[in-house]
Amino acid sequence: MNHGQARRADSHPASPRSSRHGSRGGRAAESTPASPDVAVPPGEEETADHGADTGEQPAPPRELVLAKAINAALRDELTEDAKTLLIGEDIGALGGVFRVTEGLQKEFGPQRVVDSPLAESGIIGTSIGMAMRGYRPVVEIQFDGFVFPAFNQITTQLAKIRSRTLGKVAAPLTIRLPYGGSIGSIEHHSESPEALFAHTAGLRVITPSNAHDAYWMTRQAIRCDDPVIILEPKRRYWLKGLVDFSTPAQDAFTAQVVREGTDATIACYGPLVPVALAAAQVAAEDGRSIEVVDVRSISPLDDETIARSAAKTQRLVVAHEAPTFGGFGAEIAARVGERAHHRLAAPVLRVGGFHMPYPPSQQEHRYLPDIDRMLEAVDRSFSYPRR
Amino acid sequence: MAHPDATGEEHAVQPIQLLAPDGTLAEHEVYSPYISQLGEQDLRDLYRLMATERRMDAEATSLQRQGQLALWVPALGQEAAQAGTVSALRSTDMIFPTYREHVMALHRGIRPDELIQLFRATAHSGWNPHDHAMNTYMVVLGAQTLHAVGWAMGIQRDVAAGGTDQGHGADELVLACLGDGASSQGDVHESMVFASSYELPVLYFIQNNHWAISVPASTQSRGPLADRAAGYGFEGVQVDGNDVLASYAVAAHLGGQVRQGGPKLIESITYRMGAHTTADDPSKYRSSEEVESWKAKDPIERYRRWLQAAGHADETYFSEVDQEAADVAADLRRAVQELEPLPLEEAMDAVYAEPHRQVETDKSWLKEYEAGFAEDGAPARGEGGAR
């Protein structure tokens, strides 16, 4: 299957209804480099040999693309714990279709970096068996839409093994799941299933939005004694950022204010964080001060941090790529409403996909939340008077 | 001897049989030597195990009828298949059962009060899998075959790393149990692909009891399930599952080969003489003639006849076993009445290994809510058990 299409991410032509904010150069303000092809990262070094954290001095901070930051995290965990292993389709010699595991099989051998048969349920189910025996498997599912054949193993088995046995059997398994749209691919390659996993008790679900978080959240996920699903924002694999190898910014299971503001808050995660930051930049030129919260952890949800921000600015817009109906934004809106209703000037507004299967990607630019859609929601929020 | 399947057709494959329904023992070049290695005590223990489980099984069925159990899954008729197979394993060989392997559970030292918790609905599992080398019962059909294969991947890696750190021998095997119904599940297929491709020490044990609730085995497969193994590149053998000696010998023989690496499959031809569970009525879907024809092949009667005729046991021995079985049944009845439901708080604490905000929030809310009832003068809800 051809997973890649030569379409530029985030550089779609302006939609006809975008004139309101288009004049402010909204889309152009987004700093993410476009990808010409999902499978071949442009102009990136072969390895991220920053020196594994083996008790010596950590490597100095280094600028890496997000995919290479994950690669470095995997290398460091494989180095430090002989019981950690990687398993997935095409992750060995090929290095994964996104090259996230590039070079690791050569370094650690085929028993530690395992090319699996093409069988998603098999990958998760066998990893559960290995985890029961004391291993820490890190699974790569090739694409979001292919996780569903393994959905049963994840929800009826992985999520429940610990509670079923009252903690006597652990399932410390990490599932890496490239997710989200805007890579110009075909059906089943652009979905956002976070709400399905967040709704399943027993799982943890996190999503980094930048290289530094990608490095540390991956390491923290692998070390966590619970099963963790890392939703990797695939359109951000080539987003460069400075990774400080000496210390994580914070715990993986918390939210973070990534831009301070006073007039409204946009809460989002993964692929949309750069969009929100760009929207905040555009709004600033209009004299509006937008705070941006990177939710980072879907389950557990750090609703306290989000509610605190919303209470401060009195306005909250929640954005994600998944359809809004029954989506995770509804959970955030409800929880923030419960915590801070009396502090809000406007209802929590949601920006997300439509109630339809992910569209053919020639139309995805009209489906996905962008700067204009976020700012439109901010405008709507401002149509309610301040308290 | 050929076994008619549920449609009355004859299988082309001849199941291995040593002990005929009339209690006469035949010689087999490959399998008889395994029987001649069994001492008198071993031979008697096989009978004790089967007879004890049958008595306990009847007690559990009565307890369900009296409303003491939420459900019971009878193993009536499948005693020899399980007793012979489990007796051929080492105590460190991990078993991944379905929900009907009561004979195996008793053999592994799982007490009636531990076994019954799932069915009493006081807990999802009453034993620690690591203590008995037997996983918890599996309600989702076929899911456990992948866990078994993953466990075997762990064995393979432990051995490659120079030994095991769990006190197991280097030539451990894993028993993956399933039924004829589960053989239609995709997970079983995926597990066989993994087991074969990685040459893993997995012994598949299909108890073909002819009925998946009301659906006959012929709907799962038009050919012998044993033949499926060849499609994955390994050997499958059919055995008369109502013959405890053949069940033992075949498991011992194939198990020995599995210990050298690579999976094998046993299709044990047996018959579920009772209902699928206490929730169904088998008279609605199968003829009394069919049931009568299998009663004539009863595994325990057949074996008892041979034990007596061969002078391995006398009436005194059988009376002793009857008394022991009655004691186990009494233990079960007592346990059912004494079992307390697992407090909801403990179940909540077991969902995650590390603290999770939403679980903590729910737990505090429940505590406060129930404390509110106590303040009104009534005892707090949740205290002193719900029953």
Q: Helix A273-285 vs helix A371-382: angle between axes, to the nearest 10 degrees?
A: 60
Question: Which of A211, A243, A275 lies at the terminal end of a domain, its last residue?
Answer: A243
* Angstroms from A148 CA to nearest CA on chain B: 13
Output the pTM of the full model. 0.90
The DSSP annotation for B317-373 comes to HHHHHHHHHHHHHHHHHHHHHHPPPPPHHHHHHTS-SS--HHHHHHHHHHHHHHHHH
In Å, the largest CA–CA distance within chain A is 62
Question: B238 with B14: CB under 8 angstroms?
Answer: yes
Contact B160 A132 (CB under 8 A): no
In this structure, are B228 and B356 located in the same domain? no
Residue B385 lies in a domain: no
* Angstroms from A326 CA to nearest CA on chain B: 19
In this structure, are A69 and A210 located in the same domain? yes
In this structure, are B371 and B266 located in the same domain? no
**Distance from C-alpha of B347 to C-alpha of B124, rounded to nearest angstrom:** 10
Q: Which residues of A touch B191 (CB under 8 A)?
A: 122, 125-126
In this structure, are B300 and B367 located in the same domain? no
Residue B273 lies in a domain: yes
In this structure, are B200 and B217 located in the same domain? yes
In this structure, are B236 and B170 located in the same domain? yes
Q: What is the pLDDT along chain B (387 residues), one digit of tens a residue?
A: 334 444 445 445 689 999 999 999 999 999 999 999 999 999 999 999 999 999 999 999 999 999 999 999 999 999 999 999 999 999 999 999 999 999 999 999 999 999 999 999 999 999 999 999 999 999 999 999 999 999 999 999 999 888 765 555 578 999 999 999 999 999 999 999 999 999 999 999 999 999 999 999 999 999 999 999 999 999 999 999 999 999 999 999 999 999 998 999 999 999 999 999 998 999 999 999 999 999 999 999 999 999 999 999 999 999 999 999 999 999 999 999 999 999 999 999 999 999 999 999 999 999 999 999 987 666 655 554 443
Q: Which residues of B touch A148 (CB under 8 A)?
A: none
**Distance from C-alpha of B206 to C-alpha of B185, rounded to nearest angstrom:** 13
Residue A216 lies in a domain: yes
pLDDT single digits (tens) A200-251: 999 999 999 999 999 999 999 999 999 999 999 999 999 999 999 999 879 9
**Distance from C-alpha of B360 to C-alpha of B157, rounded to nearest angstrom:** 38
Smallest CA–CA distance from A172 into chain B, residue: B353
In this structure, are A100 and A237 located in the same domain? yes
pLDDT for res B380: 59
In this structure, are A262 and A222 located in the same domain? no
Contact B140 A157 (CB under 8 A): yes
Q: Which of B130, B135, B194 sits opposite A122 (nearest CB)?
A: B194
In this structure, are A218 and A278 located in the same domain? no
Smallest CA–CA distance from B149 into chain A, residue: A126
Instruction: Say which CATH number the domain at B265 has.
Output: 3.40.50.970
In this structure, are B218 and B280 located in the same domain? yes
In this structure, are B176 and B294 located in the same domain? yes
In this structure, are B279 and B188 located in the same domain? yes
pLDDT for res B191: 98
In this structure, are A357 and A334 located in the same domain? yes
Residue A356 lies in a domain: yes
In this structure, are B154 and B288 located in the same domain? yes
In this structure, are A229 and A116 located in the same domain? yes
Number of domains composing chain A: 2
| Residue B90: both structure tokens together | 């080492």
Q: Which residues of A touch B136 (CB under 8 A)?
A: 164-165, 169
pLDDT single digits (tens) B320-350: 999 999 999 999 999 999 999 999 999 999 9
Q: Which of B154, B186, B197 sits opposite A135 (nearest CB)?
A: B154
3-class DSSP assignment, residue B68: coil
Contact B146 A111 (CB under 8 A): no
| Residue A338: both structure tokens together | 């419960």
Residue B314 lies in a domain: yes
In this structure, are A165 and A206 located in the same domain? yes
Contact A226 B352 (CB under 8 A): yes
| Measured distance between the N- and C-terminal CA atoms of chain A, rounded to whole angstroms | 54
**Distance from C-alpha of B153 to C-alpha of B167, rounded to nearest angstrom:** 17
Domain of B369?
344-375
pLDDT for res A20: 36
Residue A364 lies in a domain: yes
Tokens 């075949």 sit on residue: B250
In this predicted complex, what is the ipTM? 0.92
In this structure, are B236 and B259 located in the same domain? yes
| Residues of A catalogued as catalytic | 189
Low-confidence ranges of chain A (pLDDT < 50): 1-49, 51-53
How is the beta sheet containing B235-240 ordered, strand by strand? B94-96, B174-179, B202-208, B264-269, B235-240
Contact B353 A128 (CB under 8 A): no
Number of domains composing chain B: 2
Residue B77 lies in a domain: yes
**Distance from C-alpha of A366 to C-alpha of A13, rounded to nearest angstrom:** 10
> How far from B312 is each of B20, B44, B210, B305, B332, CA to CA, in Å?
17, 7, 32, 10, 29
pLDDT for res A42: 42
pLDDT single digits (tens) B66-77: 999 999 999 999
Q: Which of A121, A168, A304 sits opposite B129 (nearest CB)?
A: A168
In this structure, are A87 and A214 located in the same domain? yes
* Angstroms from A267 CA to nearest CA on chain B: 18
Contact A163 B351 (CB under 8 A): yes
| Residue B102: both structure tokens together | 């009561």
Q: Which of A117, A125, A224 sits opposite B147 (nearest CB)?
A: A125
DSSP structure class, residue A146: G
Helix H segments across A133-267? Answer: 151-152, 161-164, 194-198, 211-223
Instruction: Say which CATH number the domain at A190 has.
Output: 3.40.50.970
Nearest residue to B250 via CA among B16, B11, B13: B16
| Residue A19: both structure tokens together | 């004139």
Q: Which residues of B touch A135 (CB under 8 A)?
A: 154, 157
Contact B193 A117 (CB under 8 A): yes
**Distance from C-alpha of B265 to C-alpha of B200, rounded to nearest angstrom:** 12
pLDDT for res A55: 55
Q: Which of A117, A165, A304 sits opposite B136 (nearest CB)?
A: A165
Question: A291 with A309: CB under 8 angstroms?
Answer: yes
In this structure, are A304 and A236 located in the same domain? no
Q: Which residues of B touch A134 (CB under 8 A)?
A: 154, 165-166
Which secondary-structure segment (H or E) carries A190?
none
Residue A55 lies in a domain: no
Residues near B185 by beta carbon (within 8 Å), at least 6 away in sequence: B141, B142, B143
**Distance from C-alpha of B210 to C-alpha of B67, rounded to nearest angstrom:** 28
Residue B121 lies in a domain: yes
Residue B4 lies in a domain: no
In this structure, are A99 and A166 located in the same domain? yes
Q: Which residues of A touch B129 (CB under 8 A)?
A: 132, 165, 168-169
Contact A117 B129 (CB under 8 A): no
Contact A166 B342 (CB under 8 A): yes
Please, is A98 exposed, middle or buried when counting C-beta atoms within 10 Å of its C-beta (0-12, 13-18, 19+)?
A: buried
Which secondary-structure segment (H or E) carries A17?
none
Residue A282 lies in a domain: yes
Domain of A239?
62-243
Residue B134 lies in a domain: yes
Residues near B164 by beta carbon (within 8 Å), at least 6 away in sequence: B155, B158, B170, B172
Nearest residue to B248 via CA among B299, B211, B297: B299
| Residue B349: both structure tokens together | 């604490």
In this structure, are A66 and A117 located in the same domain? yes
In this structure, are A224 and A260 located in the same domain? no
Question: A317 with A382: CB under 8 angstroms?
Answer: no
Residue A212 lies in a domain: yes
In this structure, are B219 and B348 located in the same domain? no
DSSP structure class, residue B182: G
Contact B352 A302 (CB under 8 A): no
In this structure, are B126 and B150 located in the same domain? yes
Q: Which of A133, A157, A225 sits opposite B143 (nearest CB)?
A: A157
Question: Which of A243, A272, A293 lies at the terminal end of a domain, its last residue?
Answer: A243
Residue A186 lies in a domain: yes
Residue B10 lies in a domain: no
In Å, the largest CA–CA distance within chain B is 78
Question: Which of A221, A243, A265 lies at the terminal end of a domain, its last residue?
Answer: A243
Residue A377 lies in a domain: yes
